Homo-oligomer: A and B are copies of this chain.
Amino acid sequence: MDLDSYCNDLARQAREASRKLATALGKNKNRWLELAADALESHAAEIQEANAKDLADASRYGLAPAAIDRLTLTPARIKAAANGLREIVALPDPIGRVLSSVVRPNGLRIDKVGVPLGVVFFIYESRPNVTVDAAGLCVKSGNAIILRGGKEAIHSNLCLHRILQDCLAKADLPPHAVQLVSTTDREAVGKLLGMNRHIDLAIPRGGESLIRRVAEEATMPVLKHYMGNCHVYVDQAANLDMALKILVNSKTHRTGVCNAAESLLVHQAVAKTFLPRAGESLGAKGVEIRGCSVTRSLIPQAKPATDDDYAAEFLDLIISCKVVAGVEEAIDHIARFGSQHTEAIITDHLPTAERFQAAVDSSAVMVNASTRFNDGFEFGLGAEIGISTDKFHARGPCGLEELCSYKYLVHGQGQIRE
């Protein structure tokens, strides 16, 4: 079959499956999650065999050690993926619930209810556990999913997909609810991104170049997850012990994640007290500091910061640092260099906290807490399919509810417009 027909079939089958899935009973969706979780565990040996083929090819693809680690499926990771599905069972079904309801003076009752988006095209890099997470979230939210993982994980994904799909019929769900693009041909992505008649949403997850490519080529809406250049602002009225603890946690708890701090802003009134301590604590964790001249005068090992440093998402043991005149300069600096992802202020002064939270336009604005908390699990949303840096549709952690739209159900007794 040629690539056009193949992609067309995938998209059309997904659309047909999505129509059935939209009215599927929650108990069937949960049954599938449970069956799939059990099947992943009982087929662990087979999954590891497929994964071994990918790992054997990894050097040919020139994967770095960190990427090979993410590609690797151990028995513990397979069990974790299965348990991820079981956790989704416990989450409330987002479909059909009444979000709001109004009775109009003419007696019409208008209920706004949750519905699936339809068909999701999910494009991601070589982390096979994401295959399982994404399928689980989409099926539970009533969306058909077309999975397109990185070529480096193709054997693992084909195996995982077959296991997930086999369980759909057993749970009375349409088998095309979960499909995998089985070719590694890059052109398939472009073709599918053109099919907005059948695909309602594209979700790219991975590096910035992948996301930009998808955003440019997609003819349907895209839920983007760009970079996180997250700031910690230590205010004049900060509890400095707390500030130090939060700064170190935000920067070093995990460096390779989007909600790690990349930039430190310090009020000039506390710079002399705070920065030497910050320099010491960050230095002890191996963090390189790139700062303004005041920073460098207070932290001897700090290197000079450029505008590029202030704009950077390092994802590494590096932090940029600037001493500011006050909260307004901090707000302006974040508006100029930030990525609207996550920022934190450390302060005990209520009006300053309120001003910072009101004026900073990021998906999460923390007061006296680590930036690392911007996360679906930490927010109590359950599993997430990504953290949106868009303001349109969904912002911040995207779980089941963010994979939904709504419609209005109008209940009348013969009303007409006069």
Q: Are B416 and A380 in contact (CB under 8 A)?
A: no
B residues near A406, Cβ cutoff 8 Å: 395
Q: Are B115 and A410 in contact (CB under 8 A)?
A: no
B residues near A416, Cβ cutoff 8 Å: 245-246, 249-250, 253, 369-370, 372
Indicate if A366 sits at the interface (CB-CB under 8 A): yes
A-side binding surface: helix, strand, loop or mixed? mixed
Indicate if A91 sits at the interface (CB-CB under 8 A): no
Closest residue to A241 on the B side, CB-wise? B414
Give Cα distance in the complex from A357 to B109, angstroms.
14
Indicate if A195 sits at the interface (CB-CB under 8 A): no
Stretch from A162-170, A291-299, A386-394 forming part of the interface with B: A386-394
Given contacts A104-B379, A392-B405, A395-B407, 9 further A-B contacts (CB under 8 A): A110-B379, A118-B391, A363-B407, A365-B408, A370-B415, A370-B416, A373-B415, A378-B417, A391-B405
Q: A239-B414, A372-B417, A416-B246 are in contact. Are A395 and B405 (CB under 8 A)?
A: yes
Give Cα distance in the complex from A144 to B412, angstroms.
38
Which of B96, B104, B379 is the one whose CB lies under 8 Å from A380? B104
Q: A19-B335, A373-B415, A417-B372 are in contact. Are A366 and B405 (CB under 8 A)?
A: no
Q: Are B368 and A412 in contact (CB under 8 A)?
A: yes
Q: Are A115 and B415 in contact (CB under 8 A)?
A: no
The 10 closest A-B pairs by CB, nearest first: A369-B412, A249-B416, A391-B405, A372-B417, A393-B393, A221-B392, A242-B414, A364-B408, A366-B410, A368-B412
15 A-B pairs in the complex with CB atoms less than 8 angstroms apart? A96-B358, A102-B380, A104-B380, A108-B369, A108-B373, A200-B392, A239-B414, A367-B410, A368-B414, A369-B414, A369-B415, A369-B416, A370-B417, A378-B417, A395-B405
Q: Are B408 and A363 in contact (CB under 8 A)?
A: yes
Indicate if A117 sits at the interface (CB-CB under 8 A): yes
Give Cα distance in the complex from A369 to B366, angstroms.
47
Q: A23-B358, A366-B412, A412-B368 are in contact. Are A417 and B253 (CB under 8 A)?
A: yes
Copies in the complex: 2
Q: How far is the CB of A109 from chain B (nearest CB, A)?
A: 10
Q: How far is the CB of A392 from chain B (nearest CB, A)?
A: 4
Q: Are A201 and B22 in contact (CB under 8 A)?
A: no
B residues near A104, Cβ cutoff 8 Å: 378-380
Indicate if A209 sits at the interface (CB-CB under 8 A): no
Indicate if A72 sits at the interface (CB-CB under 8 A): no
Interface residues in A, total, Cβ within 8 A: 60
Q: Are A407 and B362 in contact (CB under 8 A)?
A: yes
Q: 1/0 per position for A162-205, CB-CB distance to B under 8 A?
A: 00000000000000000000000000000000000000110000
Closest residue to A409 on the B side, CB-wise? B357
Give Cα distance in the complex from A135 to B65, angstroms.
54
Closest residue to A397 on the B side, CB-wise? B408
Closest residue to A388 on the B side, CB-wise? B405
Q: 1/0 per position for A213-238, CB-CB distance to B under 8 A?
A: 00000000100000000000000000
B residues near A117, Cβ cutoff 8 Å: 391-392
Give Cα distance in the complex from A1 to B376, angstroms.
48
Q: Are A417 and B373 in contact (CB under 8 A)?
A: yes
Q: Are A364 and B407 in contact (CB under 8 A)?
A: yes
Which of B363, B392, B417 is the one whose CB lies under 8 Å from A392? B392
Q: How far is the CB of A270 from chain B (nearest CB, A)?
A: 16
